C-alpha cells in the first residue's frame, strides 16, 4: 500500500507526540512509593518535552489529575 506524503507526515507527527518516556533527570530518576502506596517513576518524553509519572504496577503514564491523587497531595 502506497501512502501519500501527508499520511506519512501525519504518522510521523503522531509517533513523535507519543514517543518513548525515559526516566527524568538524565536517566537517574528512581521509582518511589507515594503516601498512597503506589510506586511511581518520574519520566520525561524527549519528543514533546513533557514530564509525567509512570505507574510501575500498571505500566501506564498517569494524567495530571491521576498523579495528584496518587501522590496524595
* Residue 57 pLDDT greater than 80, yes or no: yes
Domain membership of residue 6 (yes or no) is no
Give percent above pLDDT 70 in the chain.
96
| Domain range enclosing 49 | 20-71
Alpha helices for 4-63 (secondary structure H) = 5-17
Domain membership of residue 11 (yes or no) is no
Domain membership of residue 25 (yes or no) is yes
Decide if 54 contacts 60 (C-beta within 8 A).
yes
Backbone angles phi, psi at 18, to 5 degrees: -110, 35
Please tell me the predicted confidence (pLDDT) of residue 31.
96
Domain membership of residue 32 (yes or no) is yes
Please tell me the predicted confidence (pLDDT) of residue 1.
63
Domain membership of residue 47 (yes or no) is yes
Average pLDDT over residues 11-29: 83
Q: Give dist(CA 20, CA 8) in Å, integer.
A: 19
pTM assigned to the model: 0.71
Smallest CA-to-CA distance from 50 within 13, 73, 18, 10 is with 18
The helix or strand, by DSSP H or E, that contains position 29, with its residue range, turns out to be none
Total domain count, the chain = 1
pLDDT digits (tens, 9 = 90+) for 29-51: 999 999 889 999 999 988 788 89
pLDDT, the chain, mean: 88
Amino acid at each position: 500500500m502506497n501512502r501519500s506524503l501527508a499520511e506519512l507526515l501525519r504518522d510521523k507527527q503522531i509517533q513523535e507526540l507519543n514517543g518513548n518516556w525515559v526516566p527524568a533527570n538524565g536517566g537517574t530518576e528512581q521509582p518511589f512509593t507515594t503516601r498512597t502506596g503506589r510506586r511511581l517513576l518520574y519520566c520525561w518524553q524527549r519528543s514533546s518535552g513533557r514530564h509525567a509519572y509512570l505507574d510501575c504496577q500498571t505500566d501506564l503514564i498517569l494524567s495530571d489529575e491521576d498523579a495528584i491523587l496518587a501522590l496524595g497531595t
